[in-house]
Structure 1
């Protein structure tokens, strides 16, 4: 009898909690960056929930474009592209053509929509504040080596496909500043003559790890000595 009574009380408690949840909807009191049911906004702070929402955009092209469409005016200039195959063996899906974000690029590039969302969030939340903190100037332009390249990793014949083959990666070579200064990954990563540039680059590298699945830089290997490789594959591989 005692076990039956305890079991009955547990069921009553479960039912009451369920009713309370339906009536009061406690998740509506969560800030959007912690609410898994709230649509992702490009203005959300980066949290574990935000990262999960970002990962869901890989399989939700329309939702991803909706995030970009809701971005504040001037935050990003892009063209939503239909799926296409620019090179045999490397079809592109869920991609956009990027002209500019809050800053300029040395040339337009094509990248997956989730990568662009992550980039704009990273630019606003980390890159520009770090530039002001360490260099007393905001970034005006990013110099890059591109995003799409139909190839295997390190161009090895028997290697797996690079994330560049699906335009899911972006290689950053350096930054131009609003005050006229320049920062190069190759020249300034360990620049003892201008330690503020080195500190800035290392802070940018480390902070990018919260926004992109993979972040590789000069300390990873020689092929990355002149750029940061950022891509949306995986979760938290930061070297």
Structure 2
């Protein structure tokens, strides 16, 4: 019993010493594998990326630095209060990422824009090349900022619960435009009207959905409920959800 206790204390002691050595810089490790290191948004994600992404989204200076790493196209917008539970801080008007256009441009919080940029770089474009044979040149959306409550498809008391759209932390995605071929839409290509998945195009949408779950806090798609039959709802700041 005493031997087991000693072994446990030794393990915790060594772990604490290693943590202190890394945190103080006494023990140098590559930034990619340093949990206290800054996010390199353009680097290939690893097991520590989600920790660094969360930290970057919570700090405006880190967040805007990461947007530049991803070549996010945006213009600044002033902070705004538009009603109870509505408005935004550290937001921007986003028009694209690199050569990809966001149609139309939208107001997003920096953290939601960062999640979008990470999704585009590390999930969307790889999935498009694999399943569609060409990169995406545009993503079409149904809007982002709106001072409104959560839409469940059923009557709810006004002011019951604000949507993440009310703080510019959410965006609804309806279609993806590849460099070659017609646009991939949620309403037509998630499944056909007879319920059969579309070859190539449906797998792309499934991978796009799964990839969004890696970089956003909340992701809702057509399988969630009838309200989302034609779009992906992507948000930050709320409960973790991938539906």
Q: Bin the TM-score by the shorter chain.
A: 0.7 to 0.9
User: How much does 1:193 deviate?
Assistant: 7.3
Cα 1:128–1:54, aligned 2, differ >3 Å: closer, same or farther? same
- Provide structure 1 residue ranges, at least 5 long, that are not aligned to the other structure: 1-5
Aligned to 2:76: 80
- Contact 1:44–1:50 (8 Å) recurs in 2: no
Worse-matched range after superposition: 110-119 or 218-227: 110-119
**Structure 1 residue 180 displacement after superposition:** 3.4
Separation (CA, whole Å) in 2 of partners of 1:193 and 1:119:
26
For 1:64-213, what aligned pairs fall within 5 Å after superposition? 64-69=63-68, 71=69, 75-85=71-81, 87-89=82-84, 90-102=86-98, 103-154=100-151, 156=156, 157-191=158-192, 192=196, 194-213=198-217
Supply the distance in 2 between the matched residues of 1:182 and 1:200 (Cα, whole angstroms).
12
Counterparts of 1:207-226 in structure 2, within 5 Å, are 207-226=211-230
What TM-score results when the alignment is normalised by the length of structure 2? 0.81
Q: Is the 8 A contact 1:214 1:237 kept in 2?
A: yes
Shift in CA distance, 215/193, structure 1 to aligned 2, threshold 3 Å: closer
User: CA contact under 8 A between 1:173 and 1:227: conserved in structure 2?
Assistant: yes
SS in 2 for 1:159: coil
Contact 1:141 1:175 in 2 (8 A): yes
**Other-structure match for 2:3:** none
Cα offset, 1:235, TM superposition: 5.6
How much has 1:158 moved relative to structure 2? 4.7
Q: What do residues 167-212 of structure 1 show as CA deviations (whole Å, max 9, x unaligned)?
A: 0001100111101321000111013473211111111111211111
Per-residue deviation, 1:100: 1.5
Task: Give structure 1 regions of 4+ aligned residues with deviation exceeding 4 angstroms.
Answer: none
Do the aligned partners of 1:122 and 1:211 also contact (CA within 8 Å) in 2?
yes
Cα deviation for residue 116 of structure 1 reads 1.0
> How many residues end up aligned between the 2 structures?
220
Q: State the partner residue of 1:30.
A: 30
Of Structure 1 and Structure 2, the greater helix share is in: 1
